[in-house]
Amino acid sequence: MEGEQNATYVILDGYVNVHKYRYIYFMTVFIVYILIICSNSTIVYLIWKHQDLHEPMYVFIAALLLNSVLFSTNIYPKLLIDFLSEKQIISYQACLVQYFMFYTLGSSEFLLLAAMAYDRYVSICKPLQYPTIMRKTNVSILLALAWFLPACQLIGSVTMSANQKLCSFTLKVIFCNNSIYKLHCVSSKVISIYGVIILLNIAVIPVFFIVFTYVRILIICYRSCADVRKKAAQTCLPHLLVLTNVFVLITYDVITVRLESDFPKTARLIMILQLVLYNPLLNPLIYGLRMKEISKHLQRWCC
């Protein structure tokens, strides 16, 4: 069939294509999407509006929350359409775009967390050099690298996948992720090796850098006074919570293709939903409640 070469069918195994509860699911997901946009946008607005929050740490937080909004927008509109559709169909080109945006924005989260870890390291371990090192120019460079470095690397993977011949047109997922490799007639070693290189560059290396940075911070704090330890705990703990959550979920997503046949369907769905639900909702709560200055402005704004 000529048209099928340009289309991929997304099959939800009864979780989206359930006629009886489709409107309930639609309204639930729609409310969650609105909550994600409103909660993240509120914190970003507060950081943009208040001059005392125009510091590198808060700028990185705003970038991370904006990244969550973009990440969710890549997933939720198509998911909402699927709830109201008889067939969950997406063209292969659109599927590649969703795959590209999903991993670009997911990788940007790791790099933004790495930039935040470096900012905390300089602030706590080299306070006298902080104004020189974390200038506006350097902050802008770090933000640009966090978004454009993953995009530049993933465009190669997307290009190679676009040129692969398709022998299957069914994906057992709710959005296009690395499962698209199952559509290819022949498993490409080049794509696999290139994918490993990308994973190392934009996920594994940043995580090792973050761990190394926080170990250094903990060593310095252990040798310092109680006030320094308290300050470090207030600013570093939210980052570590977000990092742990992102790393666990992304690690699952990377290996899910290899374990799909052995992984229970319900557990797989729960993990996928956490990936697109848990973190975008959790980030504004962590930074809005745990970060003292943001929490103060949030309380004033709400009152």
Rounded to two decimals, what is the model's pTM?
A: 0.85
Position 285 scores a pLDDT of 81
Count the alpha carbons within 13 Å of 17 in the hemisphere toward its beta carbon. Answer: 13
CATH number for 2-302 (one of 3.30.420.40, 3.30.200.20, 1.20.1070.10, 3.40.50.1100): it is: 1.20.1070.10
SS3 89: strand
Residue closest to 203 by CA, chosen among 113, 140, 117: 113
Rg (CA), the chain: 21
d(CA 164, CA 160): 7
Highest-scoring range by mean pLDDT, 67-81, 89-103, 176-190: 67-81
Among the residues of the chain, which ranges form H helices? 22-49, 56-83, 92-125, 130-133, 136-162, 189-199, 205-222, 226-259, 265-290, 292-302
List, for residues 7-57, the tens digit of each pLDDT value.
Answer: 456 454 545 555 667 788 788 889 999 999 999 999 999 899 888 888 898
Residue 156 makes CB contacts below 8 A (sequence gap 6+) with 194
Position 246 scores a pLDDT of 73
Q: What tokens appear for 263 in the block?
A: 């992984």
Domain regions of the chain by residue span: 2-302
Cβ contact 213:120 at 8 Å? yes
Residue 67: pLDDT over 90: yes
Residue 106: pLDDT over 90: no
Burial class (CB in 10 A: 0-12, 13-18, 19+), 269: middle
